[in-house]
Structure 1
């Protein structure tokens, strides 16, 4: 059983300038209750479990988007409550045909229900009253929506495992994944297309516009895990392939909203089902105990390494350009997914009196990372490496320890995320510059290109005591 509740208030200054231009004060309220029951079975060669899972989650959001430099006192206020209720039954069993060969099979049936209440109201003369503003309602709500959607899916899993000896394991697996659909709490209902041409946006048309479909994936993996050299070397190697469809892509864009018949610049959230994507790659891990025949008893010198390669590509990415569905997959990247990652940790542990001393150093590296699906040379991060190190003394019987640690020792500057509201070519995503050579704003007068960086060099001491 689990229960969690949290709330927060976050003033977000998208343009990072003194002017009130794309300033977003926001409240977030979340509460969730989950319950899981499991029955585990151990009947000789057959082992496994069956279970039931339930989740009841509530996510309430309220925020202003203040565009005072675009239109004096213009605010787009959003109040969105999105609730999720999920049930699932599942089972997973492994049968050992012999000490060497095993087969596993499992499945999960999920029922999702999403309920949404979304209000989008424009104000003039200041921020919304919810955030202490003096603004007055300007026109009818851009969104006044209540709706419900249900999703259900069976997702299976299969695997086979062969152990020629207890130290070696070769395996292959297949599984299907499912992420439920829902409603975009930041969407603008008045921008929904008039599908039946009657000049009135019906509730069904608004629901279709704000909704996004479930995402599904078929995943395949083959691999090997084993101990070599009498246990001195552990190796794990895996190859994987994942085929996605209806990929859910969250986004925030500048848009125009008709308020009282007046085209008004504003902020719109868009969660779309881009289409298809394919991930394939390799992963390698190892742990080697070095020089064990040359060290004194109790000494331990280890080298841990990890290398990952992933080729992640959109095979179909449908977006609406001028009212025409267009496949722009050739110009889109999978965000926050570097093609290469690698790390290595060299550590040494030795007895000191009746205690022990540990010294270790880690170097990690990742190749170029795209922050969003549309490449952006201002906020995308090229490849970089980080260096960490630690020295820790542990007292006899593990009663207390004292450590000195360094992270990002070379004080590398690297971007981890960002915001972008600048004009770009709708197909290629190329940024459009103005006559002065700067990016053209798409929301607010100055436009927004903001990058957030990882932590700088950190050196700190830790101490632990066990009672």
Structure 2
């Protein structure tokens, strides 16, 4: 029985660059923006610290360019030129450079109606607001077709409406409480990317509910070992948050409990704090790269201490 083996050095890859003309791109794009932003409001106050108001205003976000798309644009052009030479029936002409790299301004009209009142000798302040927004050419952050980065793109028309409630109370000397709640229903009215129709879908990264509850206590002393003691507890919540236009991935409502306590003597303060004390698991960001999807987790339970010197 005998075994034999022979090895030959691999031939260098063939150089085909001489078989087609080099790709050449000479593009120039520009945009000019000029916008008038009118605003009108009406306020009626019938008691000290108690009033109602109406307002209407035009909003505007400037257009711009996705400079990071330059490499993708050049690569698509080279691929097209090569396919035109060897398989013209499979060549797909790239989209115009302006369509890929530029995005238009976003405009909106927002309308608000609200009431604010001070109750119980202004120990309790309450404010209730209703709002509606009509948005055109809404700007969204999207992932590139290659999966290597993100861009800003326009996504047709959208609307957003909801309400916000805010309460602030002085419970006792040095003790205050705050409560804030917001509800937002933000959806696409007219958005079709040529493959899918997103009409009625929720706008990504816009929480349907936001909540903030807080309690603060401050005590001052004179000619004592310490000048001030402070303690606070607050809970922040948000959700449901959709991550994509398809509304297939989302973060349910979650809440984070935080505490902080500290003392101060002169210009030196010592604080102890804890964040996300219930160690709640939640996601703060979603992204895609190279055909893979990832969720960025929020910060877990954290505790710490700090010394602050104020000059």
Same fold (TM over 0.5): yes
Larger helix fraction of residues: 2
Q: Greater share of strand residues, 1 or 2? A: 1
- Distance, in Å, in 1 between the alignment partners of 2:110 and 2:187 is 15
Match of 2:39 among 157, 166, 175: 157
Q: How does the TM-score come out when normalised to structure 2?
A: 0.78
Residues 166 and 210 (structure 1), Cα distance of their counterparts in 2 relative to 1, 3 Å cut: same
Pair 1:357–1:139, CA change in 2 (3 A): farther
* C-alpha spacing 1:463/1:209, structure 2 compared with 1 (3 Å): closer
Tell me if structure 2 keeps the 8 A contact 1:313–1:333.
yes
Superposed CA deviations along residues 257-280 of structure 1, whole A, max 9, x for unmatched, are xxxxxxxxx858664321111110
Corresponding position of 2:192:
318
RMSD of Structure 2 on Structure 1 (CA) = 3.1
Structure 2 unaligned blocks of 5 or more: 1-14, 78-90
User: What aligned pairs does 1:371-390 form with structure 2 within 5 A after superposition?
Assistant: 371-377=243-249, 380-390=250-260
- Assess if the C-alpha contact under 8 Å between 1:144 and 1:189 holds in 2: no
Cα-to-partner distance string for 1:156-201 (whole Å, 9 max, x where unaligned): 0111111112221211111101112233321654769xxxxxx997
What is the deviation of 1:238?
Answer: 0.9
Q: 1:189 to 1:171 in 2, by over 3 A?
A: same
**Which residue of the partner structure matches residue 460 of structure 1?**
304
2-structure distance, mates of 1:360, 1:140 = 66
Instruction: List aligned pairs for 1:51-70, cutoff 5 A.
Output: none
Corresponding residue for 1:147? Answer: 29
Where does structure 1 differ by over 6 angstroms across 4 or more consecutive aligned residues? 199-202
Partner residue of 2:242 out of 370, 374, 378? 370
Please list the CA deviations of residues 325-372 of structure 1 after superposition, one character each: whole Å capped at 9, or x if unmatched: x63324x43111111111111222234564221111111221221123
Q: Using the alignment, how far apart are the partners of 1:457 and 1:142 within structure 2?
A: 54
Matches within 5 A, 1:115-130: none
Residue 231 of structure 2 is aligned to residue 359 of structure 1: yes
Structure of greater Rg:
2
Counterparts in 2 of 1:42-441, with a 5 A limit? 140=22, 145-185=27-67, 186=69, 188-189=72-73, 205-254=96-145, 271-290=152-171, 292=172, 299-321=173-195, 327-330=197-200, 332-352=201-221, 354=224, 355-377=227-249, 380-395=250-265, 398-420=266-288
- Number of aligned residue pairs: 275
* Cα distance in 2, alignment partners of residues 268 and 385 from structure 1: 30
CA shift in 2, pair 1:151/1:315, >3 Å: same
Q: Is the 8 A contact 1:143 1:189 kept in 2?
A: no
How far apart, CA to CA, are the structure 2 residues paired with 1:248 and 1:303? 37
Q: Secondary structure at the match of 2:241?
A: coil
Normalised by the size of structure 1, how large is the TM-score? 0.53
Secondary structure of 2:277's counterpart equals: coil
Q: Report the more deviating stretch, 398-407 or 154-163.
A: 398-407
Counterparts of 1:462 and 1:139 in 2: how far apart (Å)?
A: 64
Q: 5+ unaligned residues in a row in structure 1: which ranges?
A: 1-123, 125-137, 193-198, 256-265, 293-298, 422-442
CA contact (8 A) 1:409 1:457 kept: yes
Taking CA–CA contacts closer than 8 Å with sequence separation of 6 or more, which of the two structures ends up with the larger relative contact order?
A: 2
User: For the residues of structure 2 that align with 1:455 and 1:223, how far apart are their CA atoms?
Assistant: 35
Cα 1:142–1:221 shift into 2, 3 Å = farther
